[in-house]
Structure 1
Amino acid sequence: MYTYLISSLAMLNFGDTPPFSYQSFLKICQEFIPERDIEILKDISRVDIENIEVHQPTLKKWYTFEVTLRNELVKLRAACKKIDLEKYLRPTDDDLVESHLTHIAHLAYQSHSILEGEEILDRGRWQKLDDLEFGHYFDLDHLICYACKLLILERWQRIKSSDSHKLLEQTLQG
Structure 2
Amino acid sequence: MASYYYLTAQLPSIFPNLQPPMSFKAFKELALRSLSKKDAQILENLSLEPPREEKSTGSAYLDKWYDFERSLRIALEQVRSAKLKWEAPISYNERVLLSSAFTPVQIARTAASIQNPLEAETFLDNARFQAADTVRGAENFSSDGIFAYAVKLLLRERASRFETEKGREEYSSIYNSILDAEK
Query: Which TM class, normalised by the smaller chain length?
Result: 0.7 to 0.9
Give 1:45's aligned amino acid: S
The answer on 1:77 being equivalent to 2:67 is no
Query: 1:56 & 1:140 partners in 2: Cα distance?
Result: 8
> Do structure 1's residue 43 and structure 2's residue 50 form an aligned pair?
no
In the superposition, relative to structure 1, how do residues 139 and 48 fare at CA in structure 2: closer, same or farther (>3 Å)? closer
Identity of aligned residues (%): 27
Task: Output the CA distance in 2 between the equivalents of 1:57 and 1:25.
Answer: 21
User: Aligned AA for 2:153?
Assistant: L
> Size of the alignment, in residue pairs?
171
Q: Residues of 2 paired with 1:122 and 1:89: CA distance?
A: 27
**Residues 19-63 of structure 1: per-residue CA shift (max 9 Å, x gap):** 111111110011111122111112222646326732321111111
For 2:166, the equivalent position in structure 1 comes to 166
Name the CA shift for 1:155/1:8 in 2 (closer, same or farther; >3 Å).
Answer: same
8 A Cα contact 2:48 2:155, kept in partner: no
State the Cα distance separating 1:79 from its structure 2 match: 1.2
The code of the aligned residue for 2:5 comes to T
Q: Deviations over 1:40-98 (max 9, x none)?
A: 11222264632673232111111111111011111111212222211599848845433
Give the root-mean-square deviation of aligned CA atoms.
Answer: 2.4
- Give the TM-score, by structure 1 length: 0.87
Contact 1:22/1:150 (<8 A) preserved: yes
**Aligned: 1:124 with 2:122:** no
Letter in 2 for 1:30: L
Give yes or no for contact 1:67–1:90 (8 Å, CA) kept in 2: no
Structure 1: segments with no counterpart, 5+ residues: none
The structure 1 residue matched to 2:20, chosen from 13, 18, 23, is 18
Q: Quote the Cα distance in structure 1 between the aligned partners of 2:111 and 2:92.
A: 18
Letter in 2 for 1:168: R
Task: Indicate the residue corresponding to 1:133 in structure 2.
Answer: 136
TM-score of the superposed pair, with normalisation by structure 2: 0.83
- For structure 2, the 5+ residue unaligned runs are 176-183
How far apart are the structure 2 equivalents of 1:166 and 1:134?
37
8 Å CA contact 1:133, 1:145 repeated in 2: yes
Tell me, yes or no, if the aligned pair for 2:50 and 2:69 is still in contact at 8 Å: no
**Conservation of the 8 A alpha-carbon contact between 2:125 and 2:159:** no
**2:20, 2:153 within 8 Å by CA — same for their partners in 1?**
yes
Where 1:50 maps in the other structure, the secondary structure is coil
Paired letter, 1:3? Y
Larger-Rg structure: 2
